[in-house]
A and B are shown apart, each in its own frame.
Chain A
Amino acid sequence: MAQHVWSKRLTVRLFWLARWLLFGAVVFSPLAALLLASSQALSEGQSAWLRLMFPSERQFTLLLRSVGLSIGVAVFDLLLGILIVCAVWRWNRCWAWVRWMPLALLALPPYVHALAWNDLLYWLTRWTGLFSPTGVWVSGWVMAMAFLPVGVGLALIGLETVAPVLVDAARIHHDDMTTLWRVALPLAGPLLAAGGSLIFLLSLMDYSVPSLFGVNVYALEIFAEFSASHEPVRAFLLATPLLVLSAVTLFTAQRFLRRSAHLPVRGGSPWSTPPRWSSGFTLAQYGALAVWAVQTLLPLTTLARLTWTGEGLLSTLQPALRELVFSFGIAGAAALLSLPLAWFLLDGTGRRVQPHALGWLLFLPVAIPAPLVGIGLVTLWNRPALNVLYATAWMPVLAALARFAPLAILLTLAQQQRVDPMLWDAARIYQANDRHMTWRVRLPLLAPGLLAGASLVFALTLGELGATLIVAPPGQSTLTLRIYNYLHYGAGDVVAGLCLVVVLLTLAAGSLGVLALAWGARRDAVSELQ
């Protein structure tokens, strides 16, 4: 009996170890390689490089500017997201489609958004003289537009955590505005804050948009250093303040997640009848919807216009067909593989896993600049013994997983927080076996979060450049690489055509996810209310 228990414990522990080793190997290996390279360099007499970890006065200014810009972008996007969600609640209860559509635009690199806005701003400047085509405000606006899909998507997820019965209970006593401020928003707060942290991190790491509008940010300083010194270790040490900031942000976000509401939520609007907002709030919603419409339509119409006046979509697509297939293959593989990673990490003993106080460490790899991730992977995998994987299509997949798998885990964790803990306990009581519980209970309950995470990984992988460039196998290239090449060349019509194809295919993929979710929601629609 004792031996039986011992062997069971050993199996569980081995499995636990295997899970964490897999996660570590996939997500943390670039960071580990960089840390190893850093310690080697320092031990070889480069200790003077340590001062790079502490910003100079000039660098501190850049850092403050980066942080300020990113906070502004995160707050603005979240506010707009909340307004848009409140507006959508008022109009249409069948808004499952709307939920995932914004993600399709995530596949467009921020740079493409920036170019579309740059053109518009130039014309506005010429006609009105009121706008400046450069500067922090313009840069912040365009970054907010580029990440607005994330803001809307996360606001949707966050506000959905509010249990309808809690909203109902509040509506008995107060009007819908009071219910929103005193009940819905506070209850959604933890997830909204976690979402805001995510947008903060994404914009902190981006240099392409600020650079286009003449704004120097800390991320650009890192690349300037890398470009000049060719030393990944120096760039990594210089990135330390960003890593520290990201760690603080992730720790805070993770603490918010621990405080999420525990009542079961089926998803969808928590308002049983359409809410009635005050006129001022409704006006603000119209404003937010207008911004969202412009943010969606501007790059799409610019793309469509350029494609229409150019060579034609098919002739643009034909030479890029191979890159198209390769890009979608990598994005699909990264999205699919992020699922078991998220699954394994959240699969304790079948119990609902509480976020650990040190859980924020899981997400730290998100903060590493993309080319450094690539260099870390090359350092690790470019060895004769591991050559079977190196220089294959698996390297860009690993790069995408290292960068974005933690985001899938974050979204799945958020989904898990929304599920009534008693549901896990009940399943453990009544399950026939582990597989029975996994397929019939745990997977369906976590499916929305897993799908959301996989979709996010898919969209971000499609637009990934910095790490892919370093690890793409010879003879293979991604659509993003081709888009940036043509951007540089000035073939705006070709770029537009390729971007349009990316958006349409991502929309199609997103629609499939929406159908699946809507089907799941319809299946459970009635039972609670009878």
Chain B
Amino acid sequence: MTRRTSLAMWNLARWLVVLCCLLLAACQGSEQRQVVVYTSVDQVYAEPILKEFEKQTGIRVLAVYDVEATKTVGLAQRLVAERANPQADVFWNGEFLQTLFLKEQGVLTPTTFAAASELPSGYVDPQGYWAAFGGRSRVILVNTERIAPGDEPASVFDLLSDRYPAQTVGMANPLFGTTSTEAAAIYAIHGAEEARALYRQIAARGVRILDGNSVVRDQVASGQLAWGLTDTDDACGAIKRGAPVKMIFPDQAADQQGVLIIPNTVARIAGGPNPETAQQLVDYLLSAAVEARLVEINWIQVPTRPLPATVKPACPVGSEVRGMNVGFDAIYQSRETARTDLQEMFMR
């Protein structure tokens, strides 16, 4: 073997040794009990809840958080991609459409939920794949310095009203997030033709289409918009920070469609690496105590269970909110039709 050849082999061997050391370093396992949760709930809200679970049970929680900026292509895609070799145990979703999608893809596994009897009808999957609890609602956020009392909008359909110039009202892009869920719900309730007409008029009118609910919140709070459609957690955040805004639940009259309520959903992942601790986490998340805590820290504004008197909601919503009279499955089935139409109208 020549000197040059031996040098070359030595170099290659050296790199391989380094690589192996690095890999071995990554291999270090832990003896501690743990559970892996993927959650689309904002880290600001989910993190303290999960840390509390760690403290109570001694089970280490390894969380993966989602971000709105990725337009909902994050965690759900990851779970599907990992289906053959699941890494997650629990999926805690801030809404329900992605959960239904994952059930359809065979990513979830059925289980029993200890809190099932406490939850409203329709909030537990008949096959046991998921359970829903307290959530947010769609809401109209109004800038009180730009809209006088009595002149406030009361319906989603006020996006078409001539009382409000188009450039002063806004909503998030209806292709993504809870705005797309709301669109699917409107399609489910009113039928494709009527819903199509509504959104066509919104697009034609030039209503401001913004990058997300948080952007709507910020622009209403700063006065760039007079009012906009967003979620209660965003609206409440602005109120809490002292912005001159007010929250209105749209379409509450008896002859109107009601407002979309978006519950949290929890499910177990099929084949997850820690089934026992997964069940513990699922039951913990579905507990009344956690729901109350989430009300206190402003993630949930529309609880599914009565709150103890000691619980102080971060954002009291006043009297009963009238939700849309449409099931989750119906909304899920309408989403494809809605998406196809909305893409043509709004992606121009």
The chain A residues found within 8 Å of chain B, CB to CB, are 4, 7-8, 11, 15, 18, 58, 61-62, 111, 119, 122, 133-134, 208, 211-212, 214, 216, 220-221, 223-224, 226-228, 230, 232, 235, 340, 371, 374-375, 378-379, 382-384, 387-394, 433-435, 465-466, 469-470, 472-475, 477, 481-482, 484-491
Q: Which 8 A-B pairs have the closest CB atoms?
A: A475-B62, A474-B62, A392-B26, A378-B81, A484-B67, A485-B43, A228-B339, A474-B36
B62-82: contact bitstring with A at CB < 8 Å (1 yes, 0 no)? 111111111111111110111
From B43, which residue of chain A is reached at the shortest CB distance?
A: A485
> Which residues of A have CB within 8 Å of B222?
119, 122
> Which residues of A have CB within 8 Å of B2?
4, 7-8
> Which residues of B have CB within 8 Å of A62?
347-348
Q: How far is the CB of A385 from chain B (nearest CB, A)?
A: 10
Flag whether B176 is at the interface (Cβ < 8 A): yes
Q: How far is the CB of A151 from chain B (nearest CB, A)?
A: 24
Give 14 pairs: A residue, B residue, CB < 8 Å, sorted on A.
A62-B348, A122-B222, A208-B69, A221-B343, A223-B70, A223-B73, A228-B175, A375-B77, A382-B81, A384-B85, A388-B23, A477-B65, A489-B214, A490-B217
Q: Is the interface of A mostly helix, strand, loop or mixed?
A: helix
Q: How far is the CB of B78 from chain A (nearest CB, A)?
A: 5
Q: Report the Cα distance A211→B344, complex, angstroms.
A: 16
Q: How far is the CB of A468 from chain B (nearest CB, A)?
A: 10
CB within 8 A of B5: which of A11, A390, A391?
A11
Q: Report the Cα distance A62→B209, complex, angstroms.
A: 16
Task: Decide if A224 touches B74 in the complex (CB within 8 Å).
Answer: no
Task: Decide if A230 touches B80 in the complex (CB within 8 Å).
Answer: yes
Task: Decide if B347 touches A227 in the complex (CB within 8 Å).
Answer: no
Assuming A340-B15, A392-B26, A470-B77, what are 13 further A-B pairs, CB within 8 angstroms? Answer: A11-B8, A11-B9, A58-B348, A62-B348, A220-B347, A228-B343, A390-B85, A393-B26, A435-B7, A474-B88, A477-B64, A484-B67, A487-B214
Task: Decide if A388 touches B27 in the complex (CB within 8 Å).
Answer: yes
* Given A11-B5, A224-B175, A388-B26, CB of A489 within 8 Å of CB of B237: yes
> Which residues of B have CB within 8 Å of A211?
173, 211
Task: Decide if B67 touches A133 in the complex (CB within 8 Å).
Answer: no
B interface bracket (residues with beta carbon within 8 Å of A): 35 or more
Flag whether B12 is at the interface (Cβ < 8 A): yes
| Contacts of B1-37 to chain A: CB distance below 8 A | 1-5, 7-9, 12, 15, 22-23, 26-27, 36-37
Task: Decide if B62 touches A488 in the complex (CB within 8 Å).
Answer: no
CB within 8 A of B175: which of A208, A227, A472?
A227
Q: How far is the CB of B217 from chain A (nearest CB, A)?
A: 7
Q: How far is the CB of A239 from chain B (nearest CB, A)?
A: 13
Task: Decide if B74 touches A489 in the complex (CB within 8 Å).
Answer: no
> Which residues of A have CB within 8 Å of B8?
11, 15, 434
From B233, which residue of chain A is reached at the shortest CB distance?
A: A489
Q: Report the Cα distance A462→B336, complex, angstroms.
A: 36
Q: How far is the CB of A273 from chain B (nearest CB, A)?
A: 47
Q: Report the Cα distance A18→B15, complex, angstroms.
A: 12
Task: Decide if A214 touches B7 in the complex (CB within 8 Å).
Answer: no
Q: Report the Cα distance A465→B84, complex, angstroms.
A: 24
Q: Report the Cα distance A290→B336, complex, angstroms.
A: 49
Flag whether B157 is at the interface (Cβ < 8 A): no
> Which residues of B have CB within 8 Å of A390?
85, 87
Task: Decide if A18 touches B12 in the complex (CB within 8 Å).
Answer: yes
Flag whether B111 is at the interface (Cβ < 8 A): no
B81-111: contact bitstring with A at CB < 8 Å (1 yes, 0 no)? 1101101100000000000010001000000
* Most chain B C-beta atoms within 10 Å of own C-beta, residue among A133, A221, A469, A477: A469
* Given A371-B74, A488-B68, CB of A228 within 8 Å of CB of B336: yes
Q: Report the Cα distance A387→B273, complex, angstroms.
A: 12
Task: Decide if A224 touches B77 in the complex (CB within 8 Å).
Answer: no
> Which residues of A have CB within 8 Å of B210?
212, 214
* Most chain B C-beta atoms within 10 Å of own C-beta, residue among A4, A7, A227, A393: A227
Flag whether B188 is at the interface (Cβ < 8 A): no
Task: Decide if A227 touches B69 in the complex (CB within 8 Å).
Answer: no
CB within 8 A of A482: which of B43, B176, B234, B335?
B43
Q: How far is the CB of A251 from chain B (nearest CB, A)?
A: 29
> Which residues of B have CB within 8 Å of A122?
222, 224
Task: Decide if A221 touches B73 in the complex (CB within 8 Å).
Answer: no
Task: Decide if B234 touches A490 in the complex (CB within 8 Å).
Answer: yes
